[in-house]
Amino acid sequence: MATSQRQADWTGISVLVTGGAGFIGSHLVELLVEAGARVTVLDTFASGSRDNLAAVAEAITLRELDIRRLDWAEYLTANPVEVIFHLAANAYVPPSVESPAFDCELNFTTTFRLLDALRGLRWPGRLVFASSAAVYGNSVRIPISEDDPTVPISPYGVGKLAAERYLAVFANLYGLQLASVRFFSAFGPRQRKQVVFDLLAKLDGDRERLFIHGDGTQVRDFLFVADAARSAMIVAANAPLRGEAYNVGAGREYTIDQLAKSLCEITGVHPVFDYSGANRPGDPEKLVVDISRLRSIGYRPRVDFEQGLASTVAWYESLTGVTWQYKA
């Protein structure tokens, strides 16, 4: 299938999304359904939610399965698919610091078992693995490119990197069509952790004082969730899939201080900022991304920072019923 055709036409394509009830996964499922794909979701709902898929529930096959216990060869023989988006994982650094064994099983071992089954089946399809900016650790330069050193500083980053390495080896040794996407600081509706949600929850709880981890100068490339989901589809459609990795971000940098001030402007809440002065363990100081490789296969971020924040604030309002003191 030609690159342009693969990108443009998902009609009738059979797709499996592991972790499809989660934050990025559910947005990806919605885009795939909109594009005409036949979508199956596997999820345990440990961190994802059926509610995240309410808008497309009638259009997908949803199976509550723990892929840590799944016989992949048996499952895929009985339920063949053309594309797999593998997003099922522990999605955050702190749980990996608290329980490295849990993170290793969920992020690395489970991915290896899937890859080994695909090898045994000589699977002809396409797989995109959800990796993370955490594989880089503290970057040696800004912006970060895919060829920069990968020296993770958390068990989470180590697990993602190990899975990536197996993808690359299996693609080259066994001819499987595989690629990884390294998401940078994704945010948006349905994310109930991480910095944007945490700041909104703090503003909701205390409108006079806002506690911020670190000193506010930490730099991130904030990626709106719809763009994250689209990037995975573009990689599946357009990439050579030879085990390569793609940075996924907006290509713009913001400090945590700028983020907090933007949220305050949107909500009309203006507290005093209270900084802890120290980063949380495993969190790098700067994560800013070079997305040239992803741009070369057709990706362009569509949602700007302020628009994404406004959408996230609106979702938070619908979730909690909070009423902000908006500016006139």
Tell me what the mean pLDDT of segment 182-197 comes to.
94
267 contacts 313 by C-beta, under 8 angstroms: yes
Q: Which is catalytic among the residues 156, 246, 299, 316?
A: 156
pLDDT tens-digit map of 159-176: 999 999 999 999 999 999
| Gyration radius of the chain's alpha carbons | 19
Q: How confident is the model at residue 27 (pLDDT cuts 50, 70, 90)?
A: very high
Tell me what the mean pLDDT of segment 208-214 comes to.
93
pLDDT tens-digit map of 111-148: 999 999 999 999 999 999 999 999 998 888 889 999 99
Q: Tell me: domain 194-220+253-289+304-318, CATH 3.90.25.10, correct?
A: yes
**Mean pLDDT across the chain:** 92
pLDDT tens-digit map of 261-270: 999 999 999 9
Q: What percent of the chain has pLDDT over 70?
A: 95
225 contacts 161 by C-beta, under 8 angstroms: no
Of 243, 256, 252, 254, nearest in space to 291 by CA: 252
Give CA separation, 48 vs 26, 30, 55, 70, in Å.
Answer: 8, 15, 15, 18
pLDDT over 70 at 282, yes or no: no
pLDDT over 70 at 289, yes or no: yes
What are residue 245's DSSP bridge partners?
Answer: 180
Q: Tell me: domain 3-187+222-248, CATH 1.25.40.10, correct?
A: no
pTM here is: 0.92
- pLDDT value at position 131? 96
Distance CA 167, CA 246 (A): 13
Strands of 219-220's sheet, edge to edge?
254-255, 219-220, 286-287
Listed by start position, the domains of the chain span 3-187+222-248, 194-220+253-289+304-318
Tell me what the mean pLDDT of segment 210-230 comes to.
94
- pLDDT value at position 7? 47
- pLDDT value at position 94? 83
Q: Which long-range contacts (CB under 8 A, 24 or more apart) does 205-210 make?
A: 206/271, 207/269, 207/271, 207/325, 208/271, 208/272, 209/271, 209/272, 209/274, 210/260, 210/264, 210/271, 210/272, 210/273, 210/274
Phi, psi of 186 (to 5 degrees): -70, 145
Q: How confident is the model at residue 95 (pLDDT cuts 50, 70, 90)?
A: confident
Distance of CA 17 to the CA centre of its chain: 13
- pLDDT value at position 263? 97
Q: What percent of the chain has pLDDT over 90?
A: 82
Q: Is 156 a catalytic residue?
A: yes
Of 242, 250, 258, nearest in space to 224 by CA: 250
Instruction: Spell out where 150-231 has E strands.
Output: 177-183, 186-187, 209-212, 219-220, 223-224
